[in-house]
Amino acid sequence: MVDRTDSSTDNIITTEPSPMGQSSKPENRHWRWTAADIAVGAALGVACGLVFWGFNFAYAWLSPLIGGILPGLASVLHPLWYFSGTLAVIILRKPGAAIYVNLVGSAAEMLLGNQFSVGFVFAAAALQGLFAEIPFMVTRYRVYNLLISMVSGALVAVEYGVYLMLFRYQGVAFLSARGIVHMVSELVGGVLIAGVMSWYLYRAIAATGALDRFASGRARFAA
């Protein structure tokens, strides 16, 4: 897998005050995972795993071509290995959604065939899922919009970009031309692919009615 606002009321979950003026804390109910959440998350993970697996082959020949234009520029494509975390939280809107879907996707990718070690792939998937969830954690999983999706993608991009510099591109200095191009490309790709693409992919899926049983699907009717 991994080696490799338009803010609107329909995207905000608010808490209703109780008769005594105290918060009824409905997030405890909204955060509870259901069988439907688990099933949809698993299906989403498998679908993303197929994308990861297919992109492994595409990247093998795209990377040299793009890198020949400007060393480090191919990093702009890396988010196709980690967009799943942001997409998962936007759709499921539950704590741990990004980690769960990333792990399922990694398992599907490994079953199809992957040159990376099992331990590395699953550890990287969990870490990327954690970073994807950070902005949603900050809002207590109440705000879902394009801006927060972009922030989520950017955070994963920074995490993965630094990881590559420390463990895969050891001979490349952070302040070298290649290092700078790599990190900028990673960040741009993270915002555009893991952030913007995931948001509009969610909107497209919701428009089909496939998510009508979920808060993310019903939100489109409140726009």
CA pair distance 187, 133, nearest whole angstrom: 17
- pLDDT, residue 28, reads 65
- pLDDT, residue 14, reads 40
- pLDDT, residue 207, reads 93
The answer to whether 182 touches 199, Cβ cutoff 8 Å, is no
Backbone φ and ψ for 173, nearest 5 degrees, come out as -80, 145
CA pair distance 175, 180, nearest whole angstrom: 6
- pLDDT, residue 22, reads 43
| Six token digits for residue 37 | 């959440």
Among candidates 91, 105, 74, 109, which has minimal Cα distance to 37? 91
| Six token digits for residue 49 | 């795993």
CA pair distance 1, 186, nearest whole angstrom: 16
C-alpha count within 13 angstroms, C-beta hemisphere, residue 152: 37
DSSP string, 110-146: HHH--SS-HHHHHHHHHHHHHHHHHHHHHTTT-B-SH
- pLDDT, residue 13, reads 43
Among candidates 152, 169, 189, 41, which has minimal Cα distance to 102? 41
DSSP string, 3-58: ------GGGB--PPBPTTSSB--THHHHTS--HHHHHHHHHHHHHHHHHHHHHHHH
- pLDDT, residue 55, reads 93
How do the pLDDT tens digits run along the chain, 223 residues long?
Answer: 445 533 333 444 444 444 444 444 555 667 889 999 999 999 999 999 999 999 989 999 999 999 999 999 999 999 999 999 999 999 999 999 999 999 999 999 888 877 666 777 888 899 999 999 999 999 999 999 999 999 999 999 999 999 999 988 988 999 999 999 999 999 999 999 999 999 999 999 999 999 998 889 888 666 5
CA pair distance 14, 22, nearest whole angstrom: 13
- pLDDT, residue 41, reads 97
Q: Determine the number of helices (DSSP H) and then strands (DSSP E) in the chain.
A: 9, 0
Cβ neighbours of 179 (radius 10 Å): 18
212 Ramachandran zone, left/alpha/beta (phi>0; psi -120 to 50): alpha
Q: What is the DSSP letter of 214?
A: S
Per-residue b/e over 88-101, b at no fewer than 16 CB within 10 Å? bbbbbbbbbbbbbb
- pLDDT, residue 118, reads 77
